[in-house]
Structure 1
Amino acid sequence: MEEKQLYGALTVYRERGAYLRRLEQFEKAKASYDEAFNSSPEDVRMLTGRSQVCADAVKPVQAYADAEIALKLEPGNMNARNMQARAMYTMSDFERSVVMNFRGARVRQQPPYFMEGINQGVETIQDCIGVNSGNVMLEFLPIIKQVEAALPIGDEPVKPKHISRIPQPERKRKLTQMEARKDLTLARVLAMKYLGPMAYDKFFLQHLTSDPRLQSANSGGSKELKLIVDEALRSLCERQGMLRAQRPYYTIKLAEKAESKYQNKYKEAVLIKEREIGTRTAERLVRQIEKSLRQNRIMDVMTQAEQMQMFLDGKVPRTLPDKELYTDRLYRAVGEGYLAQHRLSYTLSERGNRRRIAFLMGLPVGRPKSFDSVMANYPYKFIDIKQATEKVAATLEMCENSTMKCWLMYELARLLCTQKNYALAKFYAKRCQREAQEIGNVPWWLNGLFVLMSGDMQQNNSNEVRIQVEEAYEYAKKLQDPEQVQAFLLKCGEMAAAPVLADERKAIVQRERQILAVMDEAQRVESSVLFKRMSTVPPGRRFSVLPRKDTGQTRAERKHRRQKGLSVIPGPERVLPPPPKSSTLGFQVFDI
């Protein structure tokens, strides 16, 4: 059954589109105009209305095409001519827009649409290349010279590059931390200048494109959300580009250079006040970190260090002149906090100290029998370890501060060691030690060595651990109080030298699987049942499937377990059988 056509569809959809355009809901307005176009594609009012909507929604190509179709249908329509001139202005063809507005103004003076278009176009041309732009070539001469110096001279013969038969990927130079910060600051300033309050929408959408929460189990909904975000961000970027073409940034900078003695004095006072507040805040945060460090509250040290790093990220050398100094103090305190964990406790037992060492070195530990201050104050982070690794690696690539590099390389080595990537963890730990040795920072050198020891102890490389302990024992003498670290190192070496008891259970299970794999189906089922029953027998009485020599341990165990007056050694405890149940409904058997 065919769908009935709406009576007066052209008028309904056209007027609805005009109403939505006045509400600035351009996507819905364009959809209504499209429905009207499907009903009657040769209506001039509909074409001019859709052209106006497309011009407002920063789609100048379609706006110009609709206005041109309307002029072909009705050459004397001034509204269509005005829409065509507006579309040319939106496409940044300002001279042609002014010419078309002049032609329309000769025919129609009122309403003053064409006169407004003329004034707008002339003002934009003055902003781009006229009196409002200033002396662009003189003011930006240093930048022009830098660009010319980077380009090769035309007369100089360019040597042909050697074309290798082995394809190699192109390597692009990555931005430094200062260059990335300048690039980000300039992008935000441009967005604020041209978009105004809508700049915050652009920042939110840019952050949303890389947000992992956008990817969910509902793949269809995730794709739809991503399309909406991309379309909204594209529209904002095109709007910003159009506004920047109409009024370049150098014109805005020239307008802001208006000389005002009182305004300059006010800006200078604001900058001085901001520097004072920033210095006071940085000193307060550093004192909090040092206080927590003296009390061995490492978890609080890391939390306060994150707060101070967020504070420093929002500052530039202009607003905080001693930013590098505070960064050094921050990560020097963080290094001392990490090193303070590696200490022995004289209130714990020998087993408690060994458990602490195993916990810090990433070895398996059991349930603690007593309170351990290091394990209680360990800075846990419940985050995705792969995302944390990618974030730390990206920060390390742009980092310029040496002490901060030591922290980033230590964190990266520790995360990789947690993921059992010992080779790469060793690489970054060595880099951390090298960087710390260059700046003369002993705590970070020792922290890098403890990461190396952690990986080697997890792999049971006792010789490597012994060499590292000897090296660190001598290097720790540069500390002010080396006794705690040296005692911890000696205990680590003692634990690494101790023999490791092998767990035979995994080997037994693997051997049983190999035996079952070479049997036929009937014997496999019977043997698997036999192996399960054998696993319940005590190890002294059990027939082992592993090849080994008889050492007489079975006889010794029988002698140890035998009791006086018993001729048979008790086996595994048997449970009572379940009480009998009657099949008769309502009948119950009582054990009297």
Structure 2
Amino acid sequence: MPDSEEGEPLRGTFPSFMAEGTMLSQRGELTKALACYTYALQIQPEDRNCLVARSKCYLRLGDTENALKDAEDSLAADKEFTKGLYQKAEALYTMGDFEFALVFYHRGHKIRPELQKFRLGIQKCQEAIENSVGSPSSVKLENRGDLCFLSRQAESKRAKQKLTIKFPKKDAKYLSKQQEPVRNEKTERQLLGELYVDKAFLEKLLKDEDLIKSTTKQGVTVGNLIQEGLSYLDTRTDFWQQQKPIYARIRDRKLMLKRWTRDQKRKPSEVARYILKSMEDIDMLLTSGCPERSCQKAEHVLKKIQGWSDDEIPNRNELVGNLYSCIGNAQIEMGNLEGALQSHQVDLTIAREK
């Protein structure tokens, strides 16, 4: 790849940069591929296929803002360019704007109904929306605030500023210098699950300067490979957090509470309020980095409901299983893996029996 000085003409042609970018992208060398596509766009700034290719690189690197910008630029001359429509929908979906992503998946499907990727996009968007806010029959929108999400994308666009991306000679630095969102270690651990150990291992490898400077047989530096692995895990963390954020879990608690109390003859106002508030407190304490208090709260609730009648808690087993699951999650955060295994085993046993 040529290292072009500022003001010096690029040595290469548009097709050669595109071909090299495609090859590098397929090999997983995303930062180098990104630079190739950028060089190509300096020769043909409005080439829509190159804009889509660079948008895909940005998306795989976790830079959703620039991915969306390139996808929108590819649609500037032709609003029905299906590759651009699909890429814009993918960028919006990754950003968590499922409603707007659904709109562009539908537009693409209307133009090219034979393409399966648009059908799959529509399906995954509908599932993500239901995960977040529930099915249409269970949600009642009110004008006072429930529709505020419609303005979120418009506000985001107004806040954006056009950025001129300058690539340094050593492309490996680009990935390490990207702006990274502030992350909560406890939340990451919960979202990544078993992969969190892999992330911690990769971060530890980055501290070995001799290792990251070494290269593979294909000429790729180990540092690049580690950075791309970490970038992938960060992207997955963002995706899973968008798929099942905190507010969606709170809503699920409310729906679960309805199942617990729907068969009761008398209105369980005090019991219902206590259970709902307790489950929300347990969940919020865990996600805010207080596993000890979360575990104590769950154990207290578990002990308290033992003295309640089946009339007050018709689905006692489901509640008990959920409490043991919460205790197990808290014990994992506390490092008590043996206790966590026992708690989750109780939850599993209850589920199998009932």
Q: TM-score, normalised by structure 1?
A: 0.29
Q: TM-score, normalised by structure 2?
A: 0.47
Higher relative contact order (CA 8 A, sep 6+): 2
Bigger radius of gyration: 1
